[in-house]
Amino acid sequence: MVDARGLLCPMPVIMVQKEVKANAPQTLEVLVDDVCAKENVTRFGKSQGYKVAVSDTDDGYKLTFTK
Amino acid sequence: MKKVNWWVVISGVCVGIASLVLTLLGNPKNMGFCIACFERDIAGALSLHSAAKVQYLRPEIMGIVLGAFIIALITKEFKPKAGSSPATRFVLGAVVMIGALAFLGCPLRMVIRIGGGDVNAMIALLGFVLGVFIGTIFLKRGFNLKRAYNAPLVEGYTMPTISLALVVVGLIAPVAIKMSVEGPGSMHAPFLIALAIALVVGALAQKSRLCMVGGVRDAILFGDFKLLYGFVAIIVTIIIGNLILGNFKLSMLSQPIAHSSTLWNVLGMMVVGWGSVLLGGCPLRQLVLAGEGNGDCAVTVFGMIIGAAMSHNFGWAGNPDSTNELGEYIVGGISNGGKIAVIVCIAIVLVVSLVNSKKEAKSNG
């Protein structure tokens, strides 16, 4: 789980990039709280070969990466 | 990630056209749109500095904030947030502005100057890219100004309200503010037309996430060229426009409101690139995010305005090249105080980068 809520871009993408590089997870959940971060993290996930599912949460979005 | 995002390209083209039109309508040459210059002029209009030639309540700044605010309300992206190292952001805002005024322009004006053929801006671009590159090194090392939290509505409404108030003052009580009678501050497009154009630019910039720093930064960090297309679109639009209008002049010398003191152009823009990466976006992006309700970015804008006031009160801002009565070309540049200020700004950005780059585990302990 990567919690990138409250962070301006590009921090959310950098955090996800680090996690993907370090552990190459098959699945990964990312929490963000603004649309810009949601778009950028989704774009990054897809570029790394993940399918990205987006669901709403109380204070933003949960992005679920799956290989 | 190579897919072109047309929103960004359209926004870039529109910003380019807006800049050309605003210049035709009266804004200074190669300064159709400059966030740093216009915030500096507002600082002068509010009597925060007394440089008589650069005082005017530029509606472009308020228009960008309000355009972003309105579109964010419509798309439900307006979200009051604050609490991400506001004092650090205030200082970085001031530092970025001092660097920008040493060069005589923000990243947006640098791009506009490049589109006018200003070789000084082309060279300054190298400093800007170097600054962005250094900033990305710290981002990779764990630089983080910590998260913001949801804030009360009033926090998010602060910047749009101030912007609206300044528009009202500009419209009904211009005698209450200072306005230049000569120099760049006296050159401006009609207030309401400039405001209308800026509202569109602000809305487009919010929608597309246009950011002059983000383009170079994301290309370096992720090989993501999305925002860079906007950067390039502005340059191409301005070059084409200036060629059509006969205003393109490829030269280092005699460029409008520019100096050819290369080292300080480069170092000034290096500070701007580096500081803006730490802030999460260029001066334009800070205005847009402030319009979306981000209180930290509003504080950054206030820091920029104070930085502008300091630059002019202490004589740190760049002096344009000029010609004296004998027709001799006088190279401008910055004063010794300005040189020291730029070096101190580099030191401040370095310290901020280092102290905020600790590993998470260490900072929690």
Q: Measure the CA–CA gap between B291 and B309, rounded to whole angstroms.
A: 22
Q: Measure the CA–CA gap between B36 and B42, rounded to whole angstroms.
A: 10
Asked if the Cβ–Cβ distance from A6 to B1 is below 8 Å, we say no
What is the distance in angstroms between the Cα of B219 and the nearest Cα belonging to chain A? 11
Chain A segment 4-63 residues within 8 A of B by beta carbon are 5-11, 13-14, 17, 33-36, 39, 43-44, 47, 59
Task: Give how many domains chain A has, as a whole number.
Answer: 1
Which pLDDT score, from 0 to 100, does residue B360 have?
54
Asked if the Cβ–Cβ distance from A6 to B218 is below 8 Å, we say no
Out of B79, B84, B218, the one facing A10 most closely (by C-beta) is B218
Which pTM was predicted? Answer: 0.95
Average pLDDT over residues A13-26: 94
Q: Where are the alpha helices (DSSP H) in B152-294?
A: 153-172, 191-208, 212-222, 226-245, 262-279, 283-291
- Which residues of chain A are within 8 Å of residue B140 when distances are taken between CB atoms? 14
Return the CATH number at A15: 3.30.110.40
- pLDDT digit string (tens) for B131-142? 999 999 999 999
**ipTM reported for the complex, 2 dp:** 0.93
Which pLDDT score, from 0 to 100, does residue B19 have?
97
- pLDDT digit string (tens) for B78-128? 999 999 999 999 999 999 999 999 999 999 999 999 999 999 999 999 999
Asked if the Cβ–Cβ distance from A34 to B224 is below 8 Å, we say no
Range of the domain at A33: 2-66
- pLDDT digit string (tens) for B251-283? 999 999 999 999 999 999 999 999 999 999 999
Which pLDDT score, from 0 to 100, does residue B365 have?
37
Which pLDDT score, from 0 to 100, does residue B358 have?
74
pLDDT at B3 over 70: no
- B319 beta partners: B333
| Residue B5 pLDDT grade (very low, low, confident, very high; cuts 50, 70, 90) | confident
Domain boundaries, chain B: 3-355
What is the distance in angstroms between the Cα of A25 and the nearest Cα belonging to chain B? 19
List b or e across B220-243, with b for residues whose CB sees 16 or more CB atoms inside 10 angstroms: bbbebbbbbbbbebbbebbbbbbe
pLDDT at B293 over 60: yes
pLDDT at B324 over 70: yes
Cβ proximity of B207 and B71 under 8 Å: yes
Average pLDDT over residues A11-40: 94
pLDDT at B359 over 90: no
Q: Which residue of A has its CA nearest to B145?
A: A7
Q: Which residue of B has its CA nearest to A38?
A: B77
